[in-house]
Structure 1
Amino acid sequence: MEIVVVGRHTEVADRFRQHAEDKLAKVEQLAPTVQRVDVEVTRENNPRLASVRERVELTVRDKGPVVRAEAAADDRFGALDLALDKLSERLRRARDRRKDHRQHQVDPPVDVRPPSQIPEPEVPETAPTPPEHPGDSVERELGDSPVVIREKLHQAKPMSVDDALYEMEMVGHDFFLFVDSETKRPSVAYRRHGWTYGVVQLDTSCDCA
């Protein structure tokens, strides 16, 4: 498992890097196939935000959905502990969900036709090359203005609304972009009040000219 620690607008000391690696070692117990854990540390310089000036974001990149957690505190060691608690809970939920799916999994039907009668699978002419690490972000300035835009590449594989809500909970966001597997429309799920959610879909077939 690779652990990558980076700082945004701040330097990260070797002491914290080693501490983060020691703390995150138990992630493999909850996600045995984890490939990489990103640790992003951000420091807020506003004195009014001293109690939450250090923010730590943890991102687990596995074969399944990305699992993310973040927390803020007056020091980055405390923020790491808070974020790790959230991450561990989400990893447990992801593990339990995988177990539940395996218990209800139905074996696919077996094709009993002779090999000569089974058609060759269609291969697309060009296959899209996925980014090396989906979810990586890039910041750019908006023209000559002081506005900074942070862009992320999001893989929009078709999924059900239920799966979209699950993945939204795994990254701890209030919204989630996806392609509805039933309607094939670009959609966004968002959190409302309590345990209620909303879904907005885009109708790309309309002629708005």
Structure 2
Amino acid sequence: MKFNIRGANIEVTEALRDHVEKKLSRLERYIEAPPQSEAHVTLSVVKGLQTVEVTIPLIGLMLRAEEKHPDLYAAVDLVVDKLERQIRKAKTRANRKVRQEGSLRDLFRTDSGATAVLEEEEDFELVRTKRFNLKPMDVDEAILQMNMVGHSFFVFANSDTSEVNVVYKRDDGKYGLIEPAK
């Protein structure tokens, strides 16, 4: 697996790069990674907290984790643990279902030493369904509506694009917009 490590407001030293690569290499024992797999790692400092974001695109699956911690090396360890849990859950889900050749099941190695780790499966329980009419509005109005109802996200019909969009409040206090790919 290749590593794309970049720093935002932080210098990526050789020792730090080696630590990140060593820890993320642990994940290779779980993944039958195609040669074009590349782990994207962003290291940053925000308000005194060291942040590590890792994204690993795989065929049919996107692994992503983020951790914040006062110690950058501890944040790297925590994010790798989080990614391992995601892989185990995806592997368990894929193995539970009988699928045809070339599915997600083929992404994961079956003979790794990780089988000793207890694989827990999380059942997703849908407890509520809401239906509502989408009022056409611009992004600014959607953010206002979201703040008025006190939610962390808001679904709306974008009056500029005529498509369904979602605005959300980010951890840094700013806002994000999710719109369909074209």
> TM-score scaled by structure 1?
0.46
Cα drift, residue 186 of structure 1: 5.4
Kindly report which structure 2 residues correspond to 1:1-209, keeping only aligned pairs within 5 A, or say none.
1-33=1-33, 35-44=37-46, 46=47, 50=48, 53-101=49-97, 103=98, 105=99
Q: Which has the larger radius of gyration?
A: 1
Q: Using the alignment, how far apart are the partners of 1:106 and 1:59 within structure 2?
A: 27
Per-residue Cα deviation, 1:116-151 (whole angstroms, up to 9, x for no partner): xxxxxxxxxxxxxxxxxxxxxxxxxxxxxxxxxxxx
Q: Using the alignment, how far apart are the partners of 2:100 and 2:4 within structure 1?
A: 38
Equivalent residue pairs, number = 109
Runs of 4+ displaced beyond 3 Å: 185-188
Contact 1:31–1:95 under 8 Å retained in 2: no
Per-residue Cα deviation, 1:33-68 (whole angstroms, up to 9, x for no partner): 251111110112x3xxx3xx1000111111122110
AA in 2 matched with 1:94 = A
Change (3 A) 1:106 1:79: closer
Cα drift, residue 3 of structure 1: 1.1
Question: Percent identity between the aligned chains?
Answer: 28
Change (3 A) 1:43 1:31: same
SS in 2 for 1:12: coil
Contact 1:6–1:39 under 8 Å retained in 2: yes
SS in 2 for 1:26: helix
Q: Using the alignment, how far apart are the partners of 1:25 and 1:91 within structure 2?
A: 14
Structure showing greater relative contact order (alpha-carbon pairs closer than 8 Å, 6 or more residues apart): 2
Contact 1:71–1:79 under 8 Å retained in 2: yes
AA in 1 matched with 2:86 = R
Q: Using the alignment, how far apart are the partners of 1:90 and 1:67 within structure 2?
A: 7
SS in 1 for 2:12: coil
> TM-score scaled by structure 2?
0.52
Q: Using the alignment, how far apart are the partners of 2:16 and 2:61 within structure 1?
A: 27
